[in-house]
């Protein structure tokens, strides 16, 4: 593969996918040379009009820059801590010349004079961790807690790179309506052919129990954004670990999201966040009940039907009108499932997959077990090697589920936890950049869902959107 051409295409796709106009600097009709070149100038006028409507959020003639958030805390002198440090990333591996500078800005980069910090670029690919925190802001364009404006929107941090001039820029974004924004292309794709950003242990983002509201810990919390915020950022697949505690008088209060044996948050409010998002958008969401660590099984491993049925009734009660039934939309084993278009047309935009086949057999509207490619290792190299192989051989030819999820996070061992070696934030930091890089290269053609921890530490959302659009263009 000619990387030069492919990266050019990536930049091009990324720019158009993100609702941006194609940057004029590398288009041949930038300056119509003759008055007779009417067609070109008409295109120019159209582009200018589009540009006025939709501001360019990402631009690059070659290579890419992007903003991420550093998941571990950084210890400063005198006991201080820096949380959520902004990271600036670049990949100019296909470019003939590499920009010399990269900087952090709080608005669209126009001049180095406005940079909050600048750094020298000494390699084709890399990143710097700035000493500036993302801070606690609100979600832009009205999306903080209710539906806002369609299209991608920037949070405050921007990155710019170049020489004396800034040639490439990008911002940290929300992508609340990316499926609708790109519907003309990606709706032709079957769900198994999408590249889809997901979160591992999606509900484990802040304790909400009688005894704790802790937002940061070492080995339980895998995310730091609410389900609503994850959706607004562009996450469309949730891996849920659901537990049942019969100590609560009301049935609906007995269902919790857990990380293994640890209770994190009650389930029903999260279902309501998903409902509010589905009610107000045209997006399609994949909810995966993937593990039932407490209360769903007898000692001998037999499912407790009443507990499973209670969960299923709750999901139907909260999300019923949005549910796309497998009995109606399923396309059979060994296929890639329905197109996005058929789900959007029917206005059935929630697919609920369930990890227990005996329960699916009783409720055939549930989607069957969604395979997780899980390396079960605490070693980043092994994780990546495992996923390289597992993604390239997925889906299995006779798979019952049209989808599969690459679980792109390491798993601490019991000893790691006992001896407090590292933390889930450090583990995420050790793999998230590689995951972004892999998705743009080796996993590009075959990855379906990629689920990560602390997703702001990678660029899986924007890259998945670009790849889905690219796949649709091949149809
Ligand atoms: C992960 O990325 C780093 C650069 O960020 C690289 O040095 C390392 O080799 C990568 N690991 C693997 C297994 O590809």
Residue 149: which CATH number? 2.60.40
Cα 257 to middle of ligand 1, angstroms = 33
* Higher per-residue confidence, 316 vs 44: 316
Clarify whether residues 22 and 160 are in a common domain.
no
Clarify whether residues 468 and 381 are in a common domain.
yes
Q: Which atom of ligand 1 is nearest to the CA of 385?
A: 13
Instruction: Give the closest residue (by CA) to ligand 1 atom 8.
Output: 434
Q: Which atom of ligand 1 is nearest to the CA of 380?
A: 13
Task: Determine, yes or no, domain membership for 239.
Answer: yes
Tokens at 196, concatenated: 């889809």
The pLDDT of residue 419 is 80
Task: Determine, yes or no, domain membership for 44.
Answer: no
Cis before 91? omega within 30: no
The pLDDT of residue 439 is 98
Clarify whether residues 196 and 306 are in a common domain.
yes
Cα 442 to middle of ligand 1, angstroms = 13
Instruction: Give the closest residue (by CA) to ligand 1 atom 12.
Output: 381
Specify the number of domains making up the chain. 2
Pairing of β 372-373 and β 405-407 = parallel
The pLDDT of residue 378 is 93
Does 457 score more than 50 pLDDT? yes
Cα 454 to middle of ligand 1, angstroms = 18
How far apart (Å, rounded) are the C-alpha atoms in residues 221 and 92? 34
Clarify whether residues 378 and 252 are in a common domain.
yes
Task: Determine, yes or no, domain membership for 70.
Answer: yes
* Higher per-residue confidence, 32 vs 84: 84
Q: Which atom of ligand 1 is nearest to the CA of 438?
A: 14
Residue 11 to residues 20, 46, 156, 221, 391, Cα–Cα distance (Å): 11, 21, 22, 34, 24
Cα 376 to middle of ligand 1, angstroms = 19
Tokens at 364, concatenated: 């055939």
3-state class (DSSP) for residue 232: helix
Does 453 score more than 70 pLDDT? yes
Cα 36 to middle of ligand 1, angstroms = 52
Cα 72 to middle of ligand 1, angstroms = 18
Instruction: Give the closest residue (by CA) to ligand 1 atom 7.
Output: 434
Does 260 score more than 90 pLDDT? no
Clarify whether residues 124 and 246 are in a common domain.
no
Mean pLDDT, rounded, for 465-472: 97
For the stretch 223-259, pLDDT in tens is 999 999 999 999 999 999 999 999 999 999 999 999 9
Task: Determine, yes or no, domain membership for 35.
Answer: no
Clarify whether residues 431 and 418 are in a common domain.
yes
Clarify whether residues 273 and 330 are in a common domain.
yes
Instruction: Give the closest residue (by CA) to ligand 1 atom 1.
Output: 434
Task: Determine, yes or no, domain membership for 39.
Answer: no
Closest CA to 430 of 446, 416, 441, 444: 416
Cα 200 to middle of ligand 1, angstroms = 22
Residue for token pair 């509201």: 213
How far apart (Å, rounded) are the C-alpha atoms in residues 422 and 411? 11
The pLDDT of residue 426 is 94
Angle ∠(418,419,420) on CA atoms, nearest 5: 95
Cα 95 to middle of ligand 1, angstroms = 20
The pLDDT of residue 104 is 98
How far apart (Å, rounded) are the C-alpha atoms in residues 74 and 474? 44
Instruction: Give the closest residue (by CA) to ligand 1 atom 14.
Output: 434
Task: Determine, yes or no, domain membership for 418.
Answer: yes
Tokens at 24, concatenated: 């004029």
Does 1 score more than 70 pLDDT? no
Looking at the chain, the whole-number percentage of residues with pLDDT higher than 90 is 79
Closest CA to 337 of 277, 291, 278, 395: 395
Clarify whether residues 157 and 207 are in a common domain.
no
Does 393 score more than 60 pLDDT? yes
Task: Determine, yes or no, domain membership for 51.
Answer: no
Of 115, 150, 173, the residue at which a domain comes to its end is: 173
The pLDDT of residue 301 is 95
Query: To the nearest whole number, what is the mean pLDDT of the chain?
Result: 89
Does 298 score more than 50 pLDDT? yes
Angle ∠(409,74,140) on CA atoms, nearest 5: 75
Task: Determine, yes or no, domain membership for 341.
Answer: yes
3-state class (DSSP) for residue 66: strand
Q: Which domain holds residue 429?
A: 3-27+178-473
The pLDDT of residue 36 is 37
Question: Which residues' Cβ are closer than 6 Å to ligand 1?
Answer: 381, 384, 433-434
**Confidence label for 54 from pLDDT (cuts 50, 70 and 90):** low
Of 155, 173, 191, the residue at which a domain comes to its end is: 173
Of 104, 138, 173, the residue at which a domain comes to its end is: 173
Clarify whether residues 203 and 272 are in a common domain.
yes
Q: What is the DSSP string of 161-186?
A: EESSSEEEEEEEEE-TTHHHHTHHHH
Clarify whether residues 23 and 84 are in a common domain.
no
Does 90 score more than 50 pLDDT? yes
Q: To test ligand 1's pocket by mutation, which of 124, 434, 440 has the most ligand atoms within 8 angstroms of CB?
A: 434
Does 357 score more than 50 pLDDT? yes
């Amino acid at each position: 593969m000619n990387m030069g051409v492919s990266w050019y295409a990536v930049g091009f796709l990324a720019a158009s996918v993100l609702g941006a106009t194609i940057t004029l600097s590398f288009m041949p009709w930038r300056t119509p040379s003759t008055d007779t070149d009417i067609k070109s100038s008409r295109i120019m006028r159209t582009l200018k009009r589009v540009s006025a409507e939709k501001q360019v959020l990402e631009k690059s003639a070659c290579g890419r820059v992007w903003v991420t958030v550093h998941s571990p805390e950084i210890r400063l002198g005198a006991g201080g801590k820096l949380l959520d440090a902004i990271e600036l990333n670049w990949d100019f591996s296909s470019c003939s010349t590499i920009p010399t500078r990269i900087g952090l800005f709080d608005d669209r980069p126009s001049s180095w004079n406005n940079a909050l910090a600048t750094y020298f670029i000494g390699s084709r690919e890399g990143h710097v961790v700035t000493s500036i925190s993302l801070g606690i802001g609100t979600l832009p364009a009205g999306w903080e807690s209710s539906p806002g404006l369609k299209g991608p929107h920037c949070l405050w941090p921007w990155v710019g790179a170049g020489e004396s001039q800034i040639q490439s820029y990008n911002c940290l974004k929300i992508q609340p309506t990316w499926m609708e924004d790109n519907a003309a292309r990606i709706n032709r794709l079957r769900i198994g052919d999408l590249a889809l950003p997901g979160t591992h242990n999606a509900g484990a983002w802040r304790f909400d129990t009688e005894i704790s509201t802790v937002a940061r810990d070492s080995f339980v919390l895998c995310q730091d954004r609410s389900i609503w915020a994850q959706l607004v950022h562009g996450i469309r697949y949730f891996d849920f670990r659901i537990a049942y505690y019969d100590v609560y008088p009301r049935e609906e209060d007995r269902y919790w999201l857990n990380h293994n044996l640890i209770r994190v948050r009650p389930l029903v409010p999260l279902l309501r966040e998903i409902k509010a998002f589905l009610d107000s958008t045209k997006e399609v969401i994949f909810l995966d009940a993937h593990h039932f660590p407490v209360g769903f099984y007898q000692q001998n491993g037999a499912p407790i039907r009443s507990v499973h049925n209670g969960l299923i009734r709750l999901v139907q009660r909260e999300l019923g009108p949005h549910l796309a039934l497998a009995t109606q939309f399923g396309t059979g084993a060994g296929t890639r499932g329905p197109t996005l278009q058929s789900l959007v047309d029917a206005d059935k935009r929630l697919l609920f997959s369930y990890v227990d086949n005996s329960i699916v057999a009783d409720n055939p509207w549930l989607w069957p077990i969604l395979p997780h490619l899980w390396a079960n290792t605490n070693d980043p190299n092994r994780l990546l090697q495992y996923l390289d192989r597992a993604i390239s051989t997925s889906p299995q030819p006779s798979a019952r589920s049209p989808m599969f999820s690459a679980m792109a996070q390491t798993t601490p061992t019991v000893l790691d936890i006992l001896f407090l070696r590292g933390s889930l934030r450090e583990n995420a930091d050790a793999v998230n950049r590689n995951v972004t890089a892999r998705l743009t290269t080796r996993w590009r053609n075959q990855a379906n869902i990629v689920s990560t921890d602390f997703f702001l530490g990678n660029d899986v959302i924007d890259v998945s959107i670009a790849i889905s659009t690219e796949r649709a263009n091949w149809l």
